[in-house]
């Protein structure tokens, strides 16, 4: 298992806490199916509003195992991604898509099991002019995402782990999980969270 893949064994919330309550993408970005999870290095995409040609290029060019991370210039009212692109990306070995905008064809994407995290669903079509950039840093919400940073997403949302903080984050996440298991033991013994944390 690659070191970054160990991050995928933790929840997004645990990783967020392990990094000092940082790295979280906007809460509106959620999986189109609650059971979807994603983990992998970012291949970043910036598109112009309502244009998705760069997304077609991204899944064609990105290395297998990548997570496509798309910033769509703050324009959400379009379905930038659909079932055919999902099939193409799956065939190329792409691990998933995280997009700061909407997608469509949700039922078909869910049926094929390709992880897609988006702001929602929109039937409105897109153009194919191709303006934008590939594999350059993008900012989504308050988070700078560089190519190769690790994306981890689950039902709660998505967190970005900088590529130079992977080992540190894993260790802190392990320590947090051990602490939480101790708290669970205390709760089962009848103590309240106020008592456990000394907040009385």
Q: Provide the residue ranges of all domains of the chain, joining segments of one domain with +.
A: 3-175
User: Which CATH code for domain 3-175?
Assistant: 3.50.30.40
Contacts of 149 (CB under 8 A, 6+ apart): 41, 42, 160, 161, 162, 163
pTM metric for this prediction: 0.95
100 is in an annotated binding site: no
**If you search the block for the tokens 């002019």, which residue do you land on?**
129
Digit-coded pLDDT (tens) for 8-52 = 999 999 999 999 999 999 999 999 999 999 999 999 999 999 999
Give the model's pLDDT for residue 200: 76
85 is in an annotated binding site: yes
Q: How many CB atoms lie within 10 A of CB 121?
A: 12
pLDDT of 100 strictly over 90: yes
pLDDT of 1 strictly over 80: no
Beta bridge partners, 145, equal 138
124 is in an annotated binding site: no
């Amino acid at each position: 298992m690659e070191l970054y893949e160990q991050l995928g064994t933790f929840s997004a919330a645990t990783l967020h806490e392990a990094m000092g309550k940082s790295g979280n993408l906007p809460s509106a970005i959620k999986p189109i199916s609650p059971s979807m999870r994603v983990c992998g290095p970012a291949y970043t995409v910036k598109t112009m509003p309502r244009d998705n040609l760069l997304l077609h290029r991204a899944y064609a060019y990105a290395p297998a195992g990548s997570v496509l991370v798309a910033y769509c210039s703050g324009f959400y009212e379009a379905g930038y991604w659909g079932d055919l692109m999902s099939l193409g990306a799956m065939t190329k070995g792409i691990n998933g898509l995280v997009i700061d905008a909407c997608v469509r064809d949700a039922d078909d994407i869910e049926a094929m099991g390709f992880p897609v995290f988006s702001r929602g669903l929109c039937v409105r079509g897109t153009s194919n002019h191709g303006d934008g950039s590939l594999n350059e840093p993008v900012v989504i919400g308050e988070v700078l995402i560089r190519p190769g940073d690790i994306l981890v997403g689950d039902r709660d949302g998505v967190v970005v782990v900088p590529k130079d903080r992977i080992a540190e984050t894993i260790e802190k996440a392990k320590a947090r999980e051990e602490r939480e298991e101790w708290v669970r033991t205390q709760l089962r013994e009848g103590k309240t969270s106020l008592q456990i944390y000394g907040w009385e």
